[in-house]
Amino acid sequence: MKVISVNNLTKTFGTFTAVDNISFEVTKGEIFGFLGANGAGKTTAIRMLCGLSKPTSGTGMVAGFNIETESEKVKASIGYMSQKFSLYEDLKVWENIRLYAGIYGVPEKNISAKIDQHLQTLGFEKERETLVKALPLGWKQKLSFSIAIVHDPKIVFLDEPTGGVDPVTRRQFWELIYQAANRGITIFVTTHYMDEAEYCDRVSIMVDGKIEALDSPKNLKNKYSSKNMDEVFQRLARKASRDAD
Amino acid sequence: MKFFSASQEKLREMPIDMRQFLIFIKKEFYHITRDKWTMAVLLLLPILMLLLFGYAITTEVKNTRLAVYDPSHDKATEAIINKLQANDYFILSQILTEPNEIEKVFQEGDIGLVIVFGERFYENIMHTGEAQIQLITDGTDPNTATTLTNYAMNIISSYRLEILTTNNIPFQIVPNIKLLYNPQMKGAFNFVPGVMGMILMLICAMMTSISIAREKEMGTMEILLVSPMKPIFIILSKAVPYFVISIVNLTTILLISVFIMGVPIAGSFFWLITLSLIYIFLSLALGLLISAIVDSQLIALLISGMALMIPIIFLSGMMFPVENMPIGLRIISEILPAKWYIVAVKNLMIKGLGFSSIINELLMLSGMTIFFLAISLKKFKIRLE
């Protein structure tokens, strides 16, 4: 079952083509890595998929809804975590979960069970009443992820979720991602860490607004006769003519 | 389960939009109440400003030190000196014995007014009907000097009137300066409406725009825009807490001014509140407009500080009369919402005039509110595209 299908999606700003005619599909429960150098057009593409910006041309379906005409329904079926840390620092851990559960319309009667469940998954039972600003960065990122999936979305978009996080916490973060994928949540993730790209079921590599490669990490490594994803990425990204932003 | 638990039952039955809105408003209150310093400033600022403007920065002249040179020493001069002393405005601090001391006391600096009587003062009044009295003030501060001579003249005139009537001399017209509405020239009468205009604008426009800019700066706005919550609700729920704080501030200001500073609410209380509510909405709309344009808290602070606060202080007629300003500044003054509000508050509170006196101001303020609200909503939509 396809949860994302994109056909010839294009976004131009004046004469600049940020996203150039991309097409791809993502299957339910898949961990899809969306790679590309800075300025390759990843963020613009994600913004269109989340209903934040309208495509110049082309179509996209996310969770069964048209991204252009049904953006409100798209928004209700996805979760989103941005590269910037974005919880409320002056609210307690559980209040942050409570807030987003409410915004995403989780039924009132389920909310306290949800809070307990997420605190338990994170091992945060003791931090329930802690203000978020007192948590270490890695913990905040894990909490952000939990909150992005608090309403059991069909898809969760993670935009560089592990930026600046230590290796041990990154490992734990990916365990959370696997748990969510096992529950049937599709993961759409961008990252600059190529070891993380290896964890994905499939990856796409964007160069200058176009998708240059799309396959499983194993097939890509074979195709480009590389030892690891880092080499694959270097070969493709070197062709880029655009400056990083 | 303190958070939200009080209205748990009600929340369950609500449509999702309403629920999001309420949950979001509560979050806004937490932002404000958990930041103790901001909270303290928001609640104490009006009190502080009223006290500052009402007592410290005052144009009222009180307890001026007075020196007298009185070569006559008779019944009339003593009576006048007593009258001057009996007043709040003057304190007799020195009796001069020689005219050349006058210069000296001014140079020492603590004397504000010197009164010099002519010789044989009482005799002259009785026989020729004319007596000489000289008022000397320090002209380096012309405003104070004028105010002081006016006070002293009033007191002396009232004595003259007394003598003339007690001595059965036919009634004569004595020039008498009277200040309507604010007979004692109390500064508070002028500053209370001004402080109201300033505080409400400050809380509503500045705080609302900063709190929206903060969400943009922190990145939480992005998360909210990806969520199914309608952008208009995000923005409106930001305005609600500041609306509530403004009402609290309005109440504090009115209580302090009526019960502590003795400024009356002479006119219609109902229209005063209605007028203030319109002004609060106007200020909130301005805050939303600013936040639709800027992305950082600092810029929001600067714009609301420079573009809103400074003109209110200098051009709204609160501190300086606008009538004497060059035409350019008078035009700016005309488009300041605070100027219209302050004029209307003065009419209602101090002059005690009714609804008909503030129709123009009400229409102007309502018009401005709709205008700013329309542009800010439009701006906000454009940015979302």
Is B227 in CB contact (< 8 Å) with chain A?
yes
Q: Are B290 and B304 in contact (CB under 8 A)?
A: yes
Whether the per-residue pLDDT at B246 is higher than 80: the answer is yes
Report the gap between the CA of B252 and the closest CA in chain A (Å): 28
Angstrom distance (rounded) from CA B320 to CA A133: 47
Backbone angles phi, psi at A135, to 5 degrees: -85, 150
Query: What's the confidence (pLDDT) of residue B262?
Result: 80
Structure tokens at B165: 């009537």
Compute the mean pLDDT over every residue in chain B, rounded to the nearest whole number. 81
The full DSSP string for B185-211 is --HHHHHHHHHHHHHHHIIIIIIHHHH
ipTM: 0.86
Q: Which long-range contacts (CB under 8 A, 24 or more apart) does A224-230 make?
A: A228/A194, A228/A198, A229/A194, A229/A195, A229/A197, A229/A198, A229/A203, A230/A194
For residues B274-301, give the mean pLDDT: 91
| pLDDT above 70 coverage of chain B, percent | 85
Query: What's the confidence (pLDDT) of residue B168?
Result: 58
Question: Which residues of chain A have a CB within 8 Å of the CB of B223?
Answer: 80-82, 86
Q: pLDDT band for B317, please (50, 70, 90 cuts).
A: confident
CB contact under 8 A, A75 and B385: no
Query: What's the confidence (pLDDT) of residue B364?
Result: 93
Report the gap between the CA of A238 and the closest CA in chain B (Å): 31
Nearest CA in chain B to A106: B16
For residues B16-25, give the mean pLDDT: 86
Of A80, A86, A98, the CB nearest to B3: A98
Q: Are B292 and B374 in contact (CB under 8 A)?
A: no
Report the gap between the CA of B304 and the closest CA in chain A (Å): 25
| pLDDT above 90 coverage of chain B, percent | 16
Closest by CA to B223, choosing from A28, A85, A195, is A85
Structure tokens at A202: 């499939």
Chain B, 229-268: which have a CB under 8 Å from a chain A CB?
A: 229
Tell which wins on pLDDT, B169 or A78.
A78
Whether the per-residue pLDDT at B179 is higher than 50: the answer is no
**Termini Cα distance of chain A:** 36
Is B228 in CB contact (< 8 Å) with chain A?
yes
Whether the per-residue pLDDT at B176 is higher than 80: the answer is no
The sign of the dihedral angle between the CA atoms of B300, B301, B302, B306 is positive
Whether the per-residue pLDDT at B1 is higher than 70: the answer is no
Chain B, 134-153: which have a CB under 8 Å from a chain A CB?
A: none
CB contact under 8 A, A75 and B227: yes
Backbone angles phi, psi at A121, to 5 degrees: -55, -40
Report the gap between the CA of B217 and the closest CA in chain A (Å): 10
Spell out the domains of chain B, with CATH numbers in brackets: 18-57+186-384 (no CATH), 64-166 (3.40.1710.10)
Query: What's the confidence (pLDDT) of residue B334?
Result: 86
CB contact under 8 A, B227 and A104: yes
Which range, of A215-224, B136-145, B164-173, B190-199, averages the lowest pLDDT? B164-173
Question: Which residues of chain B have a CB within 8 Å of the CB of A98?
Answer: 3-4, 23
Nearest CA in chain B to A112: B1
CB contact under 8 A, A104 and B219: no
pLDDT in tens, A2-24: 899 999 999 999 899 999 999 99
CB contact under 8 A, B385 and A78: no
Residue from B3, B21, B227 whose CB has the most chain A CBs within 10 Å, to mutate: B227
Structure tokens at A227: 């030892």
Residue from B8, B23, B27, B214 whose CB has the most chain A CBs within 10 Å, to mutate: B27
Whether the per-residue pLDDT at B313 is higher than 90: the answer is no
pLDDT in tens, A204-243: 999 999 999 999 999 999 998 888 888 888 888 877 776 5
Report the gap between the CA of B245 and the closest CA in chain A (Å): 20
Spell out the domains of chain A, with CATH numbers in brackets: 2-237 (3.40.50.300)
Report the half-sphere exposure of B350 (CA within 13 A, side-chain side).
26
Question: Which residues of chain B have a CB within 8 Å of the CB of A11?
Answer: none
Query: What's the confidence (pLDDT) of residue A128?
Result: 92
**Sequence-distant (≥ 6) Cβ neighbours of residue B169 within 8 angstroms:** none
Report the gap between the CA of A180 and the closest CA in chain B (Å): 19
Is B178 in CB contact (< 8 Å) with chain A?
no
Of A76, A86, A108, the CB nearest to B12: A108
pLDDT in tens, B184-226: 545 567 778 888 888 899 888 988 999 989 988 888 888 888 8
**Residue A227 class from Cβ within 10 Å (0-12 exposed, 13-18 middle, 19+ buried)?**
exposed
**Can you list the residues of chain A whose pLDDT is less than 50?**
245
Nearest CA in chain A to B214: A88
Q: Across the A/B interface, how many CB contacts are shorter than 8 Å?
A: 77
Which range, of A98-102, B95-99, B173-177, averages the lowest pLDDT? B173-177
Beta strands A65-66 and A210-215, pairing class: unpaired
Query: What's the confidence (pLDDT) of residue A244?
Result: 52
CB contact under 8 A, B222 and A84: yes
Report the gap between the CA of A17 and the closest CA in chain B (Å): 17
Is B20 in CB contact (< 8 Å) with chain A?
yes
Is B7 in CB contact (< 8 Å) with chain A?
no
Query: What's the confidence (pLDDT) of residue B177?
Result: 44
Whether the per-residue pLDDT at B2 is higher than 60: the answer is no
For residues B115-129, give the mean pLDDT: 79
Query: What's the confidence (pLDDT) of residue B170?
Result: 47
Nearest CA in chain A to B24: A99
Report the gap between the CA of B1 and the closest CA in chain A (Å): 9
pLDDT in tens, B36-87: 888 898 899 888 888 887 676 555 567 788 888 888 888 888 888 888 888 7
